[in-house]
Structure formats: C-alpha cells, structure tokens
Chain A
Amino acid sequence: MSQTYQLTLTIRRYDPDGNRSWDQTYGLEAGAILRFVDLFRRINVEQDATLSWVSSCEHGQCGSCSVQVNGRPMLACELLVENAVALFGATRFRIEPVTVAPVVRDLVVDWEQAYERVHRAKPYVIRPIEPPPGVTELQISPKEIARYEEATRCINCFCCATACLSTHRNFIGPNAAMASVIRLMDVREEEKDERLALLYSEEGVYRCHTSKACTHVCPKKIDVAHFIALAKEGSF
C-alpha cells in the first residue's frame, strides 16, 4: 500500500510586486494518500518557501483551497495523489488559481471579490416571518426542508462558478443564485419579491446555459443545476 509516485507539478505563479506571471515546475516524490495541500506544504519546506496558496480547515468544510488541476476546479485538501493519478491518467499536473476573482499572488485569489456575488444574493433571511403569538420556534416539517437541504451544504468554494460557462458573462453565478433559491424555499423568508427580482434580472438564472458543469464539479456533490432549474421554472 506504500506506493510512491514521481510527480511533476507545474504551478502558475504571479508576483504582484513585479506584476509578473510565469509557470514554475516542481518535481517531487509523494506517497499515495498525500493530498495536494500536503504537496504544497512540502514544496514550501523543501523547495520553495515563496509559493503562496490558501487553505483553512483542510477537510472539505470551508472551501478555501479551491484550485484548478489540469483545468478542473477542485479542493486541494480532498485530492489524494493516487486519485489524481487515476482521474487524469498522468503524473504531471498543471495547477492554476480559480478564475472567479483576480489573482493576488500565485494560487491566492481575492476571495472578497468572489464573495461579493454571494453577498448580493443576500445569504440570510431578509424579512423573517412573524410566528403566531406564544410560538417561540416554528414547526417546519422535515419533508419541507428536504426539498432544499442539499443546497444548504454549499461551502462557497466557487468551484462551480469557476467551471460555469456563464459566470463571466454577467451571470451572478451558480452558488450565489443557489443561496437565494434556498431562502425562496425557506418558509421563514417573507421577502420573496426582492429575491425573484434578482434571480430574473439581467444577471439572473436565464444567463445559465444549463451545461451542468456546476453539478459535475461540486466537491460537496450538490446537484447545483437542479436548483438553478427550479429557479428557471419558478417552482420553489
């Protein structure tokens, strides 16, 4: 079980001070179940301390370490070496930052700009329903919640937005749209009109070309396209 792989990682670099971009190639031997975040850390210690990358929880729950591996957006904390070799049928990998925001340095992007879309979709209850007098907690049937529960697992890693054909053409993006769809389906939200206005605006769901790339790449295995489709149908 202790197979090792001779890997070649070509990483897209960017230096903000010299405003310079280049490809840099690192070779390293790595065990089968090391993750790509472990590889980046090893590069920092063994070869090049200047390589910048982002992570936080490193177990698929925060969505900070999204990168493109051979063009596919993925969480670097969940990608094991042997799985990457199997998935791409190669030991050479090209690693680039995600495309949803300007690059700050190397694999680090300006997450604030990426999140601006999610903030615009208002990821909270805009106008909460007033419970009847004497009621402190609403009753919501699990069946009701099951209709949108899958979408609440979204961690805003922006892999879907990176893969989306339409994100860069004024579409607010799959994860941002889904944040609004959740509250349209949540009985506690009274402010439906404002949400519909956004979803059916110039940057709304009709920008979506239904490539379903969002669903295809989602690390949390959320059927993002399904929720976009619900919004197109207006069946919340």
Chain B
Amino acid sequence: MGNPLTIHATQQCDVLIIGAGGAGLRCAVHLLEKRPDLSILAVTKVAHPQKSHTSTAQGGLAAVDPRDKMDKPIYHMFDTWKGGDCTSDQDVVKRIVEGGWEQIQWLERRGMHLSRNDEGNISKRQFGGHTIEFGKGDSCRAVFEADRTGKGMMDTAWGEALKRGTVFLNFSIATEILFQDGVCAGALLFNFKEGEFTKVLARATVLATGGSGQVYRITTNCRGNTGDGLAVILRAGLPIMDAEAVQFHPTGIVGPGILASEALRSEGGILRNNEMEPFMERYAPKMKDLAPRDIVARSIETEIREGRGIMNPDHQIAHVWIDLRHLSAYVHEVKLKEVASFFKTYANLDSRTQLCPVRPSNHYHMGGIPTNADGAVQRATGETVPGLFAIGECACASFHGFNRLGTNSLLELLVMGKAAGECVLSYLKDGRNADPAGAGEQTLSRFSGYLAARGTENTGRIRMEMRDMMTNKVGVFRDERGMREAVAALEAYKRRSAGAAIATRGLRTNQELLERWELDNLLDVAMVIAQGALVRQESRGAHFREDFPERSDAFQFHNIESMIEFGKVLFARRPVDMSLQTAGDAHSDHFKVIPRKY
C-alpha cells in the first residue's frame, strides 16, 4: 500500500447487470433469449450467484392460473392494493399481476422443480392476504417448491443465465454509476477478491442489488444486504422513494433472525410473555394470535418495551415465547417440521417440550429506487435516466406500496426482470458506449480515504450499535422524539466512522475495506429511512407512528427522497397511480383509497 489507488482496467459490454439474484438474472436471461449476440456482464457481491438472498425465500410465488375457475387477476390486484395500504401504483400492479402465470410457465419449462399435486399439475397453496372476490374467501394462488421456492427459482435463473453465456463477476461491488451528459454509461466496479477497480462501459445498466435489511439488528436478510444500490444511487444525486416503508415479520427466531412462519400461529401456537400470559388476547380479543402481521409485531414489541420480554443471554436480544407444547405430535412432526427444525438447529430447543424464543425481524424494504412500470430509473422530477434501470428489492415501481403481501416479492422479481429486459432491448437501439471523463474519481477518493483513516474505532462495532439503535428508534414503532434521536445518533456514527482504521494490508479480499464501504451505505440508507419516517406524519402499512396512529389522506403520495450531503434529505412527491380506479369499469370502486381492515 502507500501507492495511490488506480483503475486497473476498462471493460466494455452491452448490458451491465449489478446484482445477480433472481431479478438480475431473470433480466439477463430475457435479454439473451431475445438477443443471444449481446454481451452481458452480471456482477454479484456474494461468492457465486447461487448464494444470493433470493435463495432464502421459502413460501411461494403468487400467480393466478388462467385455468383456475375461482381466481381472477383482478382479485390479486385488489389484494395487492389493499395489502399495500393503497400506496401501490395501479399501472404496476396490473402489469405484474397479469404477467404472473407466464413466469410460472417460464420456470417450469426451464426445469424448476415445482411441487405437484397427485395429477402431476403444479400445486398451489393459500397464503395470508390473498383472497377471491375482493376479500370474500381465501384464494389458492401461491405456487411453490416445497419450503425452498426461492432456491428453486434462483437455481433456474442462474442455470439459464449460465447456459446462455452470461459473464459473471463474483465477489464484486459497483461503487459508482457513470454518466455522460445525463446518460448512464456503466459503472465502476471493485472486485474485492482481487482488490482491483474496473471501469465497465455499458450501453445499458441494470441495478438489482437487493435489500437493506442489515440496517436493523434482527433481520431475515443476508449479511451482504447493506443497501448498496440505494447508497450508490443517492451519491449519484438521484433519489430513492418511500425509504420509510420497511416491513417487519412478527416472529423471527432469536439468533439468526430467520422466519418462524405464520403457520406456527395458524396451527395453534400461542405467544406468551415472561409471566406466561397469552398476551395477544389483550391486543386482539377476537383474532388473538391470528391477527395480521403488523398488529402481532407491535404487540410483541409492546410487551418487550414494557418489561415483559425475556433476554436471551447468548445473543443479548429481548424476545417473547411462542408456545407450541400443546400441539399434537402430528402437527410438530408433519405440519411444522421445517420451523421445528429451525428451532432445533439455531436454538437447540425441542418445540414439543420447550418454549421457543421469537421477536419481530426486519424482512423487506418496500421502498427503493423509483422506476416507471418498465423498470426505468426516474429522477426526482419523474423523468427517466436514459440507460439506467432498477428491478427487484432495490427498486420501487411501486408494486408493494407500504406493505408487501407474502409471495408477491418473487413474482415481482420475475415480471419486472423480464419487463426491464424488454425495455433495455428497445433502448439498446440508440444506446452507445461512452467513456466519461473523471469516471471513478469519486470511488478512488472514497476508498483512499478509508485506507488512510487513523483512529481506534471499529467498523463492526459501529455497525452493531447502529443496527440496535435503528431497531429501537425507527423499527416497528416510530415517534418524532425517537426519530430525532436516531438522526442525531446517525450523525454521531458518521463522525466516528472517520476514525475507523483498516488494519488489513493490501487490497485483495480486504474484508475490512468492504465492510467500511458497507457501513457508509448503511448509514446513508438509515438516514433516509429515519428522515422519511419523520416527515410522514401518519401511519401507513408497515410504517407505524405512535404519535400519528392513523393513515392520513394528506400523505396519499410517494415520498421522493434525495440526499445531497449526509443528513440533508430533500423531499419531493410522486402521485400514486390510480389507473385501475379511473378506468371506470365494473371493478373500479375496489381500487379507491379504502380502509385496510381484515
């Protein structure tokens, strides 16, 4: 070291895809199926695309089978609209729902091992919030591959991308998006395995970097889900949308944070506090433990906050119990087999005889990079950025509004991956490679700063403290005072991070350097989440303000959030698309702004 950082190489490709999870690779495969001549470079932060977060999705993938006599796409659109607390864009909802079954066929033809019924047809199962006839009955529209639907989908998308000649760059991150005269020209990459910076000049660039769950202490998200794409977009002067829309699953398993599914409660599991009281009776006298996700999450948090939680001594995390001891051996061994095995694996507990520790766990970021219904990235003004696209969890089209329905995320990855691919294809007719002056300077200066830092701070410790703080102050419950404290705390972390020295010599597989960059990304994204939540003085979907517990029509819009310098967040508004409501057909009334009551 001691030598100034340099750009090791310049590389050209037709399409650069940043993030090789489900969305990114679905897009890659669509491009190659239509245009086998294209050169596609898919970049992933993890060791190999198969290690992506998509692989962890369990339950299913929602899509209306056209042969289903009971179900209709309009019902699925309604469920998505209502579930999102009337903040989804209706043009996007229509597009994604109508494109669903085509994606199931796509997966099936390409070898996904979908679960089948006795006739050999694709099986479907019920999932929370999915109904027929506008809430009148339960629908069966989630196709699945046992309890590993995301893995099956990821393996299929990865296999096809490999088969069709996608070039993969693993253990690599995109640190800077490049522009020439307002047109996206590619990105600067850092291959941290080799410790080399590469300038990639691409005719089109697709961001598919996934979520930001590491902002929170307890999360279902992968270690690498640090909001990288959002941070890089903010540093390019572009906005993110509805950052405050963060979903928490009520029952994460203490330790790894992984989901203990709703099935635990639907099979009769009872939540208990440290006094063994079945406390859900107090919060939801009728539905009790079967109340909707957000109500259960808030009830558990209240118990913990009021001192009726239990502290896990090993992980130092407060939790409540889920009691499954009274359930039959059949339920434990057949119906809850997977979840029971999680408790065994991660807490060494036998759910048949022992209480199991659970607490709300960060699960999904509805907010993200604003795009139109084709996945084209938008500026704060709403105009699109030529050559730049975003899909998957890092993007916000918005399909999920302020609360995502289970099984809708995998659907979105596929439909939007293909849609963005189609849009890229038409864009490529005009797009050409440019080599912008000064490309990469921002990155080299940032990374040189990291390496030159001196002090006694530890990046990992600041990250842990930030995650705890965000969980406490900008998590399931939010109020003005707590969020103002959060903003101040984030400023303090930012100052402290300047004193985090990197002890690892050399750039090759320098984990400290990577985590230092991740910390900056986490702090940036956390800051926008906190400030977005602060200005939204209402409760909407997963965003719950104790000081403003009701939804307000005065906030019936998307927040467009830019951050020019750390802590200075600028806001603009984007209207919610209401095209299903204004269509004026027989179903339009269901797509008004309606109460979200179940």
Contacts and interface: CB of A to CB of B under 8 A. Distances in A.
Interface of A: 1-2, 15-18, 30-35, 38, 41, 44-45, 49-64, 77-78, 80, 82-83, 104-105, 108, 110-112, 115, 119, 122-126, 128, 131, 136-142, 144-145, 149, 152-153, 155-156, 183, 186, 188-189
Contacts of B110: 124-125, 128
Given A58-B222, A80-B346, 5 more contacts: A30-B314, A45-B461, A83-B348, A111-B47, A112-B47
A230 to B, nearest CB: 17
Given A50-B512, A104-B193, A140-B116, A57 B159 contact: no
Given A31-B315, A110-B193, A62 B222 contact: yes
22 contacts: A17-B508, A18-B505, A31-B315, A34-B315, A35-B346, A45-B464, A49-B460, A49-B504, A52-B509, A56-B53, A61-B151, A62-B51, A64-B46, A104-B193, A104-B508, A105-B508, A124-B159, A137-B104, A137-B122, A140-B116, A145-B113, A152-B152
B303 to A, nearest CB: 20
Given A62-B56, A124-B163, A139-B121, A56 B224 contact: yes
A57 B224 CA distance: 8
A31 B163 contact: no
Interface string B145-180: 110100110011011101100000011000000000
Contacts of B155: 123, 152
B347 A33 contact: yes
Contacts of B111: 124-125, 128, 183, 186, 188-189
B198 to A, nearest CB: 16
B211 to A, nearest CB: 12
Contacts, number: 188
Contacts of A124: 110-111, 156, 159-160, 162-163
Contacts of A149: 113, 146
B8 interface: no
B105 A137 contact: yes
Interface residues of B, number: 69
Nearest to A125: B111
Contact of A35 (B50, B115, B256): B256
Nearest to A129: B109
A175 to B, nearest CB: 11
Contacts of B53: 56-57
Nearest to B152: A152
A145 B503 contact: no
B51 A56 contact: yes
B48 A141 contact: no
A136 B348 CA distance: 45
Contacts of A60: 345
Interface string B341-375: 01001111000000000000000000000000000
Contact of A32 (B47, B55, B314, B502): B314
A108 B510 CA distance: 11
B258 interface: yes
A17 B314 contact: no
B254 to A, nearest CB: 9
B68 interface: no
Nearest 10 CB-CB pairs, A to B? Answer: A31-B314, A124-B159, A139-B120, A17-B506, A2-B313, A111-B47, A105-B509, A45-B460, A125-B111, A62-B51
Given A2-B313, A142-B118, A149-B113, A111 B48 contact: yes
A108 B47 CA distance: 10
Nearest to B154: A62
